[in-house]
Amino acid sequence: MRIIKLTMNAFMTYKDFTVVDFENMLDHGLYLISGPTGSGKTTLFDAITFALYGEASGSHRHVSYFRSDFADAKDETYVELTFELHQHIYTIKRSPTYYREGYKTPKNANAYLDDGEHMIEGVKEVNAKIKELLGVDVHQFKQIVMIAQGEFTKLIYASSEERERVLRHVFHSESLVVFENLLKEQVKTYKDQFLLSSQALSSRFSMLQLDSAFMDMHQQEFHPSYIQEATLENEKLHDQLQHYQTSYQNAKTSYDQFANLYYQKQQQNLQLSELQQITQQYQTLQNQEKMMASLKHDLDQVTAIKDHQSLLDQYQQIKLSYQQAMNQKQKVHKQLETSQKQFEQLEREYQQLEKEKQQKDQLLLDIDNTKQSLEKYQQYHQLLQQYQNQYKQYQSMQNDYQNLQSRYEKLDNRIQRDQENVNRLPRLELELEQNEKNVKDINKKRVMIHELSQFYDEWKSLEDHHYDLSVNYQKKHQKYEDILVKYRHEDELFRRQQAGILASHLKENEPCPVCGSTHHPHLAQLETSVLSSHELENLSQQVEVLNQQQQEAYQDVFQQNEFVQQMKTRIEMLKEQLDIQEELSKEVFIRLLSDIVQVIDEQEKTYQKKYNDVIYLKKIQKNLKQDHLLLQQQNQYLQDMQNQIIDKEKQLSLLHQQYTQLQEEYHFSNEQDISVLLKHQQIQFQQLDQHIHDIENQYHQCQKDISVYTHQLETFSSQIDDLESKQEAYTQRYQAFIDQYFESEEQFLDYQKRQQSIFNQEKDYQNYIIQKEALGKQKQLLEKKTKDYHMTDLSLEKQQLDALAQKRDETYTQYHETLHVYKQNQETLDQLDKDYHKNQDIFEKYTLYQDLYDYTSGKNPLRMSFERYVLSAYFEQILEFANIELLKMTQGRFALYRKKDVKGVKQQGLDLSVLDYETGMMRDIQSLSGGESFKAALSLALGLSSMIQNYAGGIELNTLFIDEGFGTLDHESIDQALSVLMDLKNDHKTIGIISHVDELKERIDTQIIVEKGQQGSSLHIERG
């Protein structure tokens, strides 16, 4: 990804529309962003991150702060970013959610992404597309592209646990933690299940109902053998069960035979007793016959009343209606008399209304006149108020004109003074250029001295190594010479041994097979200790190997000598260039560098003073153009204000003339008096109008009431005549009913009162008839059935039957209890067997998951969890990338390593050490100085950036931003850091740095200068 252009509006410290064109800085590759604290340097990074992901670059800035505090309500807050990715141009525009003054609801966040062919709208949609295009989320982006303020050294000083959290966040290893937790949960689950299953086995075994001695012997923790032993014990119980079953069958047979005879006699006794009881009940019902006949007569009387209830209800309703009609007629008659009297009074008042209506019309005319007077007064008062306001404006304009005239004169004087200072600028720039050239030459010389010092160290190291190689060669050469002598000696012995063997077979006067001589005066002798041919061959091979080793060692010495001579030649060349005549040493380098640094400091102070003067004069020169424009504007403002004052004087004169004319015409006294009069007239008008309206309504309503009451009186008279004729007819029918069913009306009324109580006795009468008939039939049936029966005493036979029943029940209980115990034991044993096998399955899973969890949670020889083991591999790759940069920045002195020592029981694997090549010792990372820590942190950040890009599939992110951190570095360290960053620039990366360090301002040509103003920040780009 290559950033082309950034646009901001009303964003954080940038109130105005601001554009940063990165396209013109791509050729430079490295640029600096400088400005005072709080001016808005880091805001540029925030804007880029917000445009892409909707978040800030650092971890301490929230989206709610993105709206500029200086923005007006009409200003829109947004960021627009144009970038190139895979040779394709994209433009993204994003605005946050923010509140505006005068609006109750916030303006919602939105985002747009345009690729030249399609437009994507919506925050979620754009976020998903950006993630797809860049291949990293916001956290990875900030770690790859933006090393933000406050987060620069987070990883270098982090503890092993903190570093684990950071790397987990980068490489998304949360799933490994989830996997570890799942294993832990499975271990807990299977452990709980196993313990519960084991407890259940013991509990279920204790449920067996076996011999107490057997159960006492098996009270300890459950063992699988208990199941077989308990099964044998339960079989003994089964043998006993067979005996109990036979005893029960014999007792049951004896009881059944005796019980049949007993219950036959008992049934006869019961039927004879029942006959006697029914005969007594039947006689009791016979004695109630007269009383039931009287009850039957009463029931007939009240039944007659019930059958004629409709006639009786109509008779009573007619009587009630007649009485109600009479009462209504009397009430209406009284209301009619009252309304007639009221109408006479209202008629007199109604005739007086004409005068009151004339008064009302007159009041209406008076009100209109008063309103016109009030309007004229208000017009007069408004003109007077306008005159006073305009006069105040006129006075204010006079004051503004005088103030502007004073500022115009001051600005003119300042322009003349600044122009005199600016005339000195060309001479200062020439001096500054010469001073800068001197600084660069001295810096170049300092770099050459550093290079010479490095070559000298390397030459010393090469000579030491040459010496070591020479010593090694001498050792190997000596070793070779020793074994060669030994080989030659052993070879001579071997040859002599061969001659001795031949000599042992020679005989005098017989020819020698070698020389042919027949005389052998000096025969070769056999040696006592000689190597075999195989051993001699092995020794020969050792000679060849050592010869090869000494030759290789010689080549190493020869090659190393070439390196030493080459380095010595380079050193002599640099000495000649630097005009160094004395012999080189560490003390010489220290003195030379000290002298150079002192000169550089003096030159830099001189340069800085002149540079500040030039910058100040350039600002003045730049401001002079604006001041001239401002002077012209103020001159124009003065002329415009003078014209406005003349116009205002004309307006005042016209207003004074208008309100004076109205005062002379109407002679106004007080607006309050006119208002009080108008209010009094309006109240009087309303009261009179209401009185007329009330009299008219009452008069017409009273007419209507008299008409209604007269009509109601006629209606009630007609109803009464009709009801009188109906009442007479129903009275005759009522009397006929009394005469037919009762001796008198008093008897009827008595039965009517007791009607309900008599009806309540009807059920008793019906029960009596039914019960008498049923008892008669039962009596006849039992008399016939018990004709040949007689009562028998069964007391002795009952005792015998109870004894047989007791014996039967005892044997039954004994048999079934034993059977129940046997079956329960058998079911328990079967379930125990199943539970035991299930228990063993759970135990196998428990041990399997426990072993897995122990290894993944760090209980292993490496003291590393599964996640930390994976992260350590990533971490070592990060360190490989980081060490490439760190070795450059520290001239090969430092390298970062992951601690691999296992100490204690605490989890390890992500602790960091630094190897100091000068001492050859491992050091704790906390022992580094501030400058060394910055180099290590920068190297680690660059390594992390490279690693994440490789991890994310080689994504194309060719931009790097660094926010602060250079203030702890000396001149040499800054050179080394910039050298590393320049190498990155040569790899087609664009690098931006935020810093207050003055040396960076001198070393980096392209700069974005951020300035802080009262109404927000502004910026401009300077190129060297």
For residue 93, the model assigns a pLDDT of: 92
User: Using CA atoms, how far apart are residues 456 and 731, in angstroms rounded to an integer?
Assistant: 153
Neighbours of 594 (CB within 10 A): 10
Report which DSSP code applies to 63: G
Q: Which residue has the higher pLDDT, 65 or 284?
A: 284
Using CB atoms within 10 Å of the CB of residue 362, give its burial: 0 to 12 exposed, 13 to 18 middle, 19+ buried.
Answer: exposed
Work out the mean pLDDT of the chain and round it to a whole number: 80
Give 6-17 pLDDT, tens digit per residue.
999 988 888 889
User: Using CA atoms, how far apart are residues 823 and 776, in angstroms rounded to an integer?
Assistant: 58
The least confident of 670-674, 710-714, 827-831, 985-989 is 985-989
Tokens of 207: 């449920």
Angstrom CA distances, 763 to 757, 767, 775, 888, stand at: 11, 6, 18, 122
Q: For 514-572, give the DSSP string.
A: TT--S--SSPPPPPSS---HHHHHHHHHHHHHHHHHHHHHHHHHHHHHHHHHHHHHHHH
Annotate 112-135 with three-state secondary structure. Answer: EEECCCCEEECHHHHHHHHHHHHC
Q: Are 305 and 755 in contact (CB under 8 A)?
A: yes
Question: What confidence category does residue 148 fall into, taking pLDDT thresholds of 50, 70 and 90?
Answer: low
Is the pLDDT confidence value at 361 over 90? no
Is the pLDDT confidence value at 79 over 90? yes
Is the pLDDT confidence value at 26 over 60? no
| 890: nearest Cα among 931, 920, 930, 923 | 931
- Tell me which amino acid residue 637 is: Y
User: Using CA atoms, how far apart are residues 692 and 352, in angstroms rounded to an integer?
Assistant: 10
Neighbours of 992 (CB within 10 A): 25
Q: Are 600 and 443 in contact (CB under 8 A)?
A: yes
Give 546-577 pLDDT, tens digit per residue.
888 888 888 888 888 888 888 888 888 888 88
Is the pLDDT confidence value at 91 over 90? yes
Question: What confidence category does residue 461 fall into, taking pLDDT thresholds of 50, 70 and 90?
Answer: confident
Q: Where are the beta strands (DSSP E) in 900-989?
A: 912-916, 921-924, 959-963
Is the pLDDT confidence value at 932 over 80? no
Is the pLDDT confidence value at 801 over 70? yes
Give 881-928 pLDDT, tens digit per residue.
888 888 877 877 888 888 876 454 455 667 888 888 777 778 887 888
For residue 904, the model assigns a pLDDT of: 46
Is the pLDDT confidence value at 224 over 60? yes
| 902: nearest Cα among 856, 869, 928 | 869
The least confident of 201-210, 536-545, 787-796, 894-903 is 894-903
Which pairs from 700-709 meet CB under 8 Å and 24+ separation? 702/339, 702/342, 702/343, 702/346, 703/343, 705/335, 705/339, 706/336, 706/339, 706/340, 706/343, 709/332, 709/335, 709/336, 709/339
Residue 778 phi/psi, 5-degree rounding, is -65, -40
For residue 27, the model assigns a pLDDT of: 53
For residue 942, the model assigns a pLDDT of: 78
Question: What confidence category does residue 491 fall into, taking pLDDT thresholds of 50, 70 and 90?
Answer: confident
Give 975-998 pLDDT, tens digit per residue.
666 766 766 665 567 788 887 777
Percent of the chain with pLDDT over 90: 2
User: Using CA atoms, how far apart are residues 370 and 359, in angstroms rounded to an integer?
Assistant: 17
Q: Which residue has the higher pLDDT, 687 or 967?
A: 687
Question: What confidence category does residue 380 fall into, taking pLDDT thresholds of 50, 70 and 90?
Answer: confident
For residue 6, the model assigns a pLDDT of: 92
Give 545-554 pLDDT, tens digit per residue.
888 888 888 8
Tokens of 701: 């309503």
Q: Roughly how many angstroms between the first and final C-alpha of the chain, as a whole number? A: 26
- Tell me which amino acid residue 1012 is: K
Is the pLDDT confidence value at 717 over 70? yes
Question: Can you say how many angstroms the Cα of residue 703 is from the centroid of all Cα atoms in its chain?
Answer: 82
Is the pLDDT confidence value at 633 over 90? no
For residue 106, the model assigns a pLDDT of: 73
For residue 7, the model assigns a pLDDT of: 94
Give 285-294 pLDDT, tens digit per residue.
888 778 877 8
Is the pLDDT confidence value at 857 over 70? yes
Is the pLDDT confidence value at 589 over 70? yes
Report which DSSP code applies to 106: P
Is the pLDDT confidence value at 877 over 70? yes
For residue 844, the model assigns a pLDDT of: 87
Q: What is the mean pLDDT of residues 496-522?
A: 64
The least confident of 329-343, 526-540, 733-747 is 526-540
